[in-house]
Amino acid sequence: MNVRNYYTGSWLFVTVLLFFCLRLSSQTWLLVPDRVFDGTEMHTGWAVLVEGDYIVEAGPVGSFAEPPGAKTLDLKGCTLLPGLIEGHSHLLLHPYNETSWNDQVLKESTAERVARAVVHARATLEAGFTTVRDLGTEGAGYADVGIKAAIEKGVIPGPGMIVAGPAIVAVGSYGPKGFAPHVRVPLGADVAGGKDDLTKVVRRQIGNGVDVIKVYADYRWGPDGEAMPTFTLEELKLIVELAASSGRPVVAHASTPEGMRRAILAGVQTIEHGDGGTAEIFMMMKHKGVALCPTLAAGYAISVYRGWDEQEPVPERVKQKRKSFEMALKSGVTICAGGDAGVFSHGQNARELELMAAYGMPPVEVLKSATSVNARVFGIDDKVGKISKGMLADLLVVDGNPLEDIRSLRQVKHVFKDGKLVKANFSK
């Protein structure tokens, strides 16, 4: 027998066995860190008791009884937080500096893309992001619905998922593009236009199991390739009305002031990106209760892929992104944490949180954005986003204090999903 293959196989067997043992075990945990961020504020001298899938107690040490048989984790030097929530992900994409978006859509099989997504889901979970809102399969149909089901059944490890299936785009607006008129290529989204067509597409997506409808309110289809609005206000209102009748929200990709304005007036839940937002648009968002998911990390990564050395002057794209984010902060609009993971590596989701802090958002507000705020905006705050009695035990333990250095969110010690320890690092 090949010795290398023997040890590789043994390592794989032990890894799989450990995963299933951790997933199947029902353990009562008493977690005693230096600090507990409960989704709103930081506490010292707290402990958290987990039984089965749920948090059953959280509060000052000694304020509740420790049940017999509980396993105590002494987490000295650590902070305990709710599992982080990634607000804008694409598990079926991988970084564009590895393979261009066009080639991923046109040249990678669905089987390969799903296999990659399984790896991405695990990396995301082990980075402490226990929930993701996955906003578009980019040519992979409803593969995200199946991945979500596989995670829920325990077939594969991964975060809880809110899925959008294929986004809805206007006829003629989306890619892959650049082919002769007689050539028909697969597109990265669902194409629709007009009342009857939109009604059919939205209802088909609902029937195929999506949790949220994503629409492109603008796209790069202007005469010179600039971003311009796609759907009319009436069309966007129809999409929102159809989705709402089934209890589902609509989120809008929008980066132009007019595209954002139409989406806001139509009643979408969130604006994704918002690069060209103005003070007036952000005030409208605040007034209408529409949240912004700024995706700072994606724009940053794309600039790097295009040759920007971070030691060089900041490119205009990154400057503009920071300016719009600062304007949104000043306006008081609700800001969700979502980086457009997939444009950059899954498992590196904390990049977005680091940029939010670097661009002026107080660290405590960054933590709230990635936990309780995202949970509230996405309608899942009865389950996740807070450390309190009755909540699911989706928890993250990191070395250090993220209020002092947000980068400590990368120092992951332990991750719990539904009360089960899915990542453990007991090294000192």
Q: What is the CATH number of the domain that holds 370?
A: 3.20.20.140
Q: Give the per-residue pLDDT at 326.
A: 98
Same domain, 288 and 171: yes
Report yes or no: 323 and 317 within 8 Å, Cβ to Cβ: no
Same domain, 101 and 37: no
Same domain, 95 and 64: no
pTM: 0.93
Q: Is the pLDDT of residue 22 over 80?
A: no
Q: Which residue has the tokens 């226990």?
A: 130
Same domain, 368 and 391: no
DSSP assignment string, 70-130: PEEEEEEEEEEEEPEEEEEE-TT---TTTS-HHHHHHHS-HHHHHHHHHHHHHHHHHTTEE
Same domain, 236 and 356: yes
Q: Between residues 20 and 99, which one has the greater pLDDT? A: 99
Same domain, 19 and 115: no
Q: Give the per-residue pLDDT at 428.
A: 57
Same domain, 60 and 44: yes
Same domain, 224 and 341: yes
Same domain, 180 and 215: yes
Same domain, 44 and 76: yes
Q: Which domain holds residue 267?
A: 84-377
Report yes or no: 379 and 369 within 8 Å, Cβ to Cβ: no
By mean pLDDT, which of 10-24, 196-210, 236-250 is the weakest?
Answer: 10-24
Same domain, 342 and 394: no
Amino acid (1-letter code) at residue 181: P
With a pLDDT cut of 90, the percent of the chain lying above it is 91
Same domain, 199 and 309: yes
Q: Tell me whether the omega of the peptide bond preceding residue 294 falls within 30 degrees of 0, making it cis.
A: no
Q: Is the pLDDT of residue 233 over 50?
A: yes
Q: Count structural domains, the chain.
A: 2
Q: What is the DSSP letter of 59?
A: E
Q: What is the CATH number of the domain that holds 390?
A: 2.30.40.10
25 vs 403: CA distance, rounded Å = 33
| Residue that finishes a domain, picked among 354, 377, 400 | 377
| Residue that finishes a domain, picked among 377, 394, 410 | 377
Report yes or no: 354 and 306 within 8 Å, Cβ to Cβ: no
Mean pLDDT across the stretch 211-237? 97
Three-state secondary structure call for residue 399 = strand
